[in-house]
Structure 1
Amino acid sequence: MSKVCLNESCSNPVNGRKDRKFCSEYCKTDYHYRQRKKSGKEFFKKQIDDILRTNRKILHDYNQAGKTTVRKEELLKKGFNPRFITHYFKTQQGDTYLFCYDQGFKEVRDNNKDKFLLVLWQEYMSKQML
């Protein structure tokens, strides 16, 4: 009796080695894709990555000079989500900057307005993290 392909969308027989589970490379790839899709990990990973890339692009667009201050509401209107970051940096003075890749931000209050201070990742920051 021959085995049947493990892929749910296929009913072809599996030929070849005894331990083979799929009738073709296509079925093997399709099976593993469907398994990841069922688990939700692939969707969740893509969704987070999209948010991080959007955050980085928005920060980059507003921070052409390397350091600037922008109203918080302005960034939020553009779709910036400050809850999604890739890493953080804590200064010797105790200030914490949150980063989306190379673009950093810190919430500040200036003239009774909520703002973000935007900065770029600097080489010295890597050395202080060691």
Structure 2
Amino acid sequence: MKLTRKCVYCESELIGRIDKKFCDPQCKSAYQYKKSKEEPERFYNKVDNQLKLNRKILKKYNKGGKVTVRENLLIEEGFNPNFFTHYWKNKKGDIYLFAYEYGFLKIKEKNIDKFVLITWQEFMLTDKIKHY
């Protein structure tokens, strides 16, 4: 009685070693990719991806070093203000949250929620900075 083994991914007949699981490197790669997509995203990856997205969005809207943008514009693109790397408190007591070198401060102007966007400056190093 002949025992036939099949590729784990495409189920074609395997020829070769007894412990062989895949017919070729492409099936092995496709199987690993499919398996990784089925697994739930790890917490670290979710946080890292959101921080990177926040940075990308802040960079896109802050071309001048300091600008004011409507909150809904950023939120619609996927910005989440609950994810930040550190914060800086200015002399007036305003607390700017940062996604790496891009900072934001939530304000209300004429009853409209907005963010003041800034970029990290050298003088901020002398002030106290809080990292998480």
TM over 0.5: yes
Q: Which runs of 5+ in 1 are unaligned?
A: none
Rounded to whole Å, the distance in 1 between the matches of 2:36 and 2:78 is: 28
Alignment of 1:62-81 (within 5 A): 62-76=61-75, 79-81=77-79
| Greater fraction helix | 1
Pairwise CA RMSD: 3.8
Distance change >3 Å, CA 103–CA 91, structure 1 → 2: closer
What is residue 59 of structure 1 aligned with on the other side?
Answer: 58
Number of equivalenced pairs:
120
Matched AA of 1:20: K
Distance change >3 Å, CA 37–CA 68, structure 1 → 2: same
Rounded to whole Å, the distance in 2 between the matches of 1:5 and 1:31 is: 10
**In structure 2, which of residues 71, 85, 88 is the aligned counterpart of residue 88 of structure 1?**
85
What is residue 36 of structure 1 aligned with on the other side?
Answer: 36
Residue pair 2:62, 2:117 contacting (<8 A) in 1 also: yes
Compute the displacement of 1:112 (Å): 4.2
Distance change >3 Å, CA 36–CA 14, structure 1 → 2: farther
Rounded to whole Å, the distance in 1 between the matches of 2:59 and 2:41 is: 28
Distance change >3 Å, CA 105–CA 23, structure 1 → 2: same
Rounded to whole Å, the distance in 1 between the matches of 2:103 and 2:23 is: 50
Matched AA of 2:77: G
CA-to-aligned-CA distance 1:81-114 (integer Å, 9 cap, x gap): 33464x3322255724142x53221212345442
